[in-house]
Structure 1
Amino acid sequence: MFNRVYVYNETSKTTQNNVAFNIHPYNKGKLTMLEISIRTRAKYDSLFIKGFGIQPTNREVFVDTKIKEIQQAENTSNTVLLLKPKNNTIYDEEETFELTFLFIIASLGSFYSAAAGAYTLLFGSSKLLPWGLTQKYMCCLNLRKNFEIEMATHYVSKAGIPFADNPCELPKGATIEDRVLILESVLRKYYLDTDFFAELNYIVQQNQKYKKKFNIK
């Protein structure tokens, strides 16, 4: 049973490779000749590693063996084991795949997702998470403070602070309508894409004009 093999490559460096599980039984009392040849197989952990030109790290060596038994003399009980290299060639096998259109689209999508995720983490998302790591901890602290002051000027009113003050305990003179207007303004500017609602409002107005023009009830 072979456990490991040393391979000399073209750069005169020796690399140790583990050999795949192998067992070669033989009969006693005979001359057994094992012709061996070395075969290496390289696999990629994922298709993206191959697509980006990274060398595979999952490499395994196989020992291909051809067993020949030669009958010895009848009065001889010794067992002779002869190892003979089949040739001096090492066969390299490397996993391949076709660079298809779907693989290109998937690679671009993965790259875009990774880039978008990194950008959101560092700089935030204007509609979901306005502040990223750079604004919170690393830089732009003065700009953030000025922005907070501007936010307080526009959105802190007699109706209270949105999402912070209890709407059931409004100050004297404040109405729930004032609170709703502030919430709509904050959501429209920083969190929600309201273009669809604007288009929906335009369609409703056009329908009302059409009904009024043709006197449709």
Structure 2
Amino acid sequence: MTGRPTTPVLPSPLRARLGLVAVLAALVVAGLAVLYAGHSRPGAVDSWIVPPTADSVRPPLRYVAETLDFLGEPAGSAMVVLAAVTVCLLLGRPRAGVLMVAGAGLAVGTATLLKHLVGRTIHGPDNLSYPSGHTAFFTALAFAAALLATDRLGLGGTAGTSLVLAAALVAGATMGWAQVALGAHYPTDVLGGWCTALAVTPATSWLVDRIADRLADAGPRARD
């Protein structure tokens, strides 16, 4: 089977570069996890970025932060993912739609698992904070959207990788700012969430392509 429906979500020119990014991101996630395991206070880097005496963000920026935070909650994230999948289907990119769901879901799932393993808390023993699931979600979604844009624009390895990483950086920084501004996470939690998405989403993209290719190959054989 050929044509648009079988277009890979992870273009060949980007695989090696994004694979390296995923490995480096995973190392950062692991390193921060070891460094802050069991902690309940901001680290030196956190205090340097956001002093303990800093005031919370005030309106109207607070409304912006709260809106972004809602987009990372179950109801808000479901709306965002549904819209993203709809766009993918309208563009004739079902694999990209699958990645929107799988990439964001696995990034958040990985972040949730790490929270329980690391045990870092903020504002009480029940508020697990490392890594930021909101940041992981927003970054993974932007990553997947940028892969789709790379394919649509026909960008090569360097340009395509730059677009994907730029989109992931903007999305991670935007949601990360909201989480820190609202006091929901330390800055290093945000970094961990961003790197979690960078580690998980390329692997998910590769997996989506592998499964889709095998299903496409199995179809003709089943009809023979």
| TM beyond 0.5 | no
TM-score, normalised with respect to structure 1: 0.24
TM-score of the pair, normalised by structure 2? 0.23
Name the structure with the higher helix share: 2
Q: Which has the higher contact order (CA 8 A, sep 6+)?
A: 2
Q: Which has the higher strand share?
A: 1
* Bigger CA radius of gyration: 1
